[in-house]
Amino acid sequence: MASFVIEGGHKLHGEITPQGAKNEVLQILCATLLTQEEVVVHNIPDILDVNNLIQLLREMGVKVSKIGLSSYSFKADSVDLNYLESDEFLKRCSSLRGSVMLVGPLVARFGKALISKPGGDKIGRRRLDTHFLGIQKLGANFNYDASRSVYEIEAKELNGTYMLLDEASVTGTANIVMAAVLAEGRTTIYNAACEPYLQQLCKMLNRMGAKISGIASNLLTIDGVESLGGTEHTMLPDMIEVGSFIGMAAMTQSELTIKNVSYENLGIIPDSFRRLGIKLEQRGDDLFIPEQEHYQIESFMDGSIMTIADAPWPGLTPDLLSVMLVVATQAKGSVLIHQKMFESRLFFVDKLIDMGAQIILCDPHRAVVIGHDHQMHLRGGNMTSPDIRAGIALLIAAMSAEGSSRIHNIEQIDRGYQNIDERLRKLGANITRID
């Protein structure tokens, strides 16, 4: 199991460009199965989850060729339907969370899909009900084979319908949209997720010939078409990386420029960091974070303690709460971090308390952070990364801490961040990877 050894207290300086968005790319890659024509995708991040999905597509019979540093072409004109029923395929799916989004395209185009219970992060129960109920409403039958722990989904034909989703699940909405574009008639999805990733997927499907309206709202209307054609698509920069780099600059009291951030797609993220007292400047499509000795958490107008909570888009993404919690440990003032969407994402707080942070963990969803105002530095420690986002938060804590830290299980960080150690070393961080 690989580890990072981090020597804290080094300031960062320079420019960094965020990778392509992980949460977008998994959807886009699954969507390439909807056509037999070529789809070219640019700005694909070189990370474990993505590479595993590309390899899975290859094994399914999709012709995949790398045509540039981060560009690939996909052509799904001879998908091996027998392979999709094999134990090997199911085993691969179970270790890759994004694989659940294969269901929509496979059922829409081939009338059948098998999926084992997906893997991924250990961050509480990430239900798949939304995916399944939505695709069921379009006319698919679900059977659970308990002996193999496999869901079998079949549909002679899919028909458009009205549905109200029980939660605005991003991957759930993506799955249903991909199934609905080839369904007969009109599908209306209310309480749909409307994250930029999903907007990107809808825009790409429209370029392929789909008829989706209401993009960027929570009410999507999809008129089914008979078939889709090829297209070209470029990923957005990863907003979670952008937020992580803002947090790093603040914690290490560094001056940093984050390049090509696609500012209009960052939503509430810049203002959420400003509420923690961090200065940010938009310079064209770049973000400049000046060196700050101190940053003070704002309070609400009535003087009550600041609360930062996640919410479906356009609210704050839950993926950044771990970073904001770490950043708050060195702010001036107190803040309540409320993680509403996942029940075990705050369990890494224990590690921060061991490092000297003043945090009261109220329950699995809420933590009160009392900031040190850089008067008392965190201490280096020995820790293990439980999930991608906690991993990056612990890395930020270690970079600002006194002394040396070791983070184990960094495969969790590699799942979501491309060559993160190499990229941070270029900025002046002292990080060593040990296998």
- Amino acid (one-letter) located at 101: M
Catalytic residue among 46, 87, 121, 285: 121
Distances (CA, A) of 321 to 41, 123, 125, 247, 384: 30, 13, 18, 11, 18
Contact 218, 194 (CB under 8 A): yes
How far is 399 from 431, CA to CA, in rounded Å? 9
Give me the phi and psi of 280, to 5 degrees please.
-135, 140
- Amino acid (one-letter) located at 365: H
- Enter the tokens of residue 245: 């780099």
Question: Residue 414 contacts by C-beta under 8 Å, 6 or more apart in sequence?
Answer: 2, 47, 48, 420
**Token pair 């961050």: residue:** 123
Distance, CA of 324 to chain centre: 16
Cα Rg, the chain, nearest whole Å: 22
Is 121 a known active-site residue? yes
Determine how β-strand 13-16 pairs with β-strand 255-258. parallel
Distance, CA of 39 to chain centre: 22
Which residues are tagged catalytic?
121
